[in-house]
Structure 1
Amino acid sequence: MQLDHRSILVKDLEASIAFYRSVLGMDLLRTSGAPMTGAWLGADGKDIVHLNTGPTEGLGHVKDVHIALRTDRFAELIDALEDKSVAFESWQGEAGAVGRHALGFRQIYLQDPDGYWIEINDVDPGRKLRTLE
């Protein structure tokens, strides 16, 4: 079994699309609704996040509830975030800090325009992923 995508509610669809495209480098794969009320973004033609317009009040964004991404261009991403003045932090909340997961890979956390937390992990070639069996 694999995760297909994560669906989230957003206040401003255009602002969220711009964030996921310009900050995280995702592709806009398709939209839905007339007028547009939803959008799928991803990479390599695969869905990662599905944005839907809707009420976001009371969602209570906490870091433990997040979207986790992995990249083999971690250092480039950090440079791009700094160039764009996009705030990020370690798990512990240290602003501008790159943390290290207990398994050894580097990671950061940032928030999208609606306050959703996004965890970004460096690729660790020796990391074994658990599978459901």
Structure 2
Amino acid sequence: MSDVDPTECVQVQAFDHITLVVKDLEAARKFYVDFLGMDQVPRPAFSFEGHWYQIGGQQIHLILEHDQSGAAGQADVEPNTRTHHFAFQVQNANQAYAQALQQGIPIVSPPKPRPDGATQTFVNDPDGHIIELCSLGS
């Protein structure tokens, strides 16, 4: 319980989007659309290339690496489950792992149970971003 007066806080209303810098928009599209099943959605006409993908009420914004962006990926991060990552809830983490193996998606960690009862597996996208795929009861 916080002692902060809620009228003194920003009061976040919802999670809106994640932005990732990538080296290859087509390789990223294959991962986020063909493997994860996201929908590509229209993107405003920014002065730099990118793609937007919809996940329920949230989005992933991909920016093509350029001279004014940050570096693509997480090349300086040792791939493991206890570093910078984000998670997507999936129907079945064990099936997601099997599909990742079948499609040659780099695996960071095979499926394992979380203490809350969910199952989690970790993969890399084409730029090395670490992504947890988790499911309840599978």
Tell me the TM-score range normalised by the shorter chain: 0.7 to 0.9
TM-score, L = length of structure 2: 0.70
Q: 2:133 aligns with which of 80, 102, 120?
A: 120
Query: CA 1:57–1:12 in 2, change beyond 3 Å: closer, same or farther?
Result: closer
The aligned residue for residue 5 of structure 1 is 17
Query: CA 1:35–1:19 in 2, change beyond 3 Å: closer, same or farther?
Result: farther
Aligned residues: 117
The aligned residue for residue 104 of structure 2 is 85
**Moved runs in structure 1, 4+ residues, more than 6 A?**
none
Query: CA 1:57–1:34 in 2, change beyond 3 Å: closer, same or farther?
Result: closer
Residues in 1 aligned to 2:134 and 2:32: alpha-carbon distance in whole angstroms: 16
CA RMSD between the two structures: 2.5
The Cα offsets for residues 66-108 of structure 1, whole Å up to 9 and x where unpaired, read as 1211112434423322321323243xxxxxx211112121000
Residues in 2 aligned to 1:58 and 1:79: alpha-carbon distance in whole angstroms: 24
Q: Any unmatched runs of 5+ in structure 2?
A: 1-12
Please state if 1:111 is matched with 2:88: no
Fraction of identical pairs, as percent:
26
Counterpart code for 1:41: Y
Greater C-alpha radius of gyration: 2
TM-score, L = length of structure 1: 0.72
The aligned residue for residue 37 of structure 1 is 49
Residues in 1 aligned to 2:92 and 2:41: alpha-carbon distance in whole angstroms: 21
Q: Any unmatched runs of 5+ in structure 1?
A: 91-96, 125-133
Counterpart code for 2:104: S
Residues in 1 aligned to 2:17 and 2:91: alpha-carbon distance in whole angstroms: 20
User: Aligned ranges for residues 91-102 of structure 1 at < 5 Å?
Assistant: 97-102=110-115
Query: CA 1:58–1:105 in 2, change beyond 3 Å: closer, same or farther?
Result: closer
Shift of 1:58: 8.5
Q: 1:51 aligns with which of 49, 55, 62?
A: 62
